[in-house]
């Protein structure tokens, strides 16, 4: 009797094909997850930057809108000589009164103001620091004329 060899058609995938498929899918999934985690971690960053900018700009606008010094009349006036009006921190009615002022515009955000006088001009710097350590400084010169 003859033994007949029947050819069986392959109905599934081999073990080697399955292992290659799992490796390829694992690599692709790892790359996708790393991109996703990177975007999720930096997703809050624009909100923090916007808060920093809002807090700094609002305080800078507030300080610039005040009088140059105590002796400057409302609405401005001629340059004082040598701007001896001084400051009165309890009243906060001129820009020098804000020198060294600190507050917390949002929870855990620190806002600081520095006013430096150089002749007939003042440099106003507002620095805001976020809870994660990011910092933003806005500055403007103010002239008395």
Q: How far apart are CA 89 and CA 84, in angstroms?
A: 15
102-129 average pLDDT score: 92
d(CA 58, CA 56): 6
Q: How far is CA 27 from the centre of its chain?
A: 35
pLDDT (tens digit, 9 = 90+) per residue, 10-44?
Answer: 677 889 999 999 999 999 999 999 988 887 766 66
**Domain-wise residue ranges, the chain:** 46-143
User: What is the CA angle 140-94-123, rounded to 5?
Assistant: 25
Model confidence over 56-92: pLDDT tens digits? 999 999 988 888 877 776 665 554 544 444 444 456 7
pLDDT for 46: 83
Enter the pTM of the model.
0.62
């Amino acid at each position: 009797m003859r033994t007949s060899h029947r050819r069986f058609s392959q109905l599934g995938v081999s073990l080697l094909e399955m292992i290659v498929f799992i490796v390829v899918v694992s690599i692709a999934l790892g790359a996708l997850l790393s991109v996703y985690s990177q975007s999720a971690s930096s997703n809050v960053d624009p909100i923090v930057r916007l808060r920093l900018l809002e807090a700094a700009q609002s305080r800078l606008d507030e300080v610039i809108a005040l009088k140059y010094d105590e002796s400057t009349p409302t609405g401005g006036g001629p340059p004082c000589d040598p701007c001896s009006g001084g400051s009165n921190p309890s009243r906060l009615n001129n820009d020098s009164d804000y020198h060294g002022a600190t507050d917390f515009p949002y929870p855990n955000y620190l806002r600081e103001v520095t006013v430096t006088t150089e002749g007939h001009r003042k440099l106003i710097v507002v620095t805001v620091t976020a809870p994660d350590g990011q910092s933003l400084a806005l500055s403007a010169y103010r002239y008395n004329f």
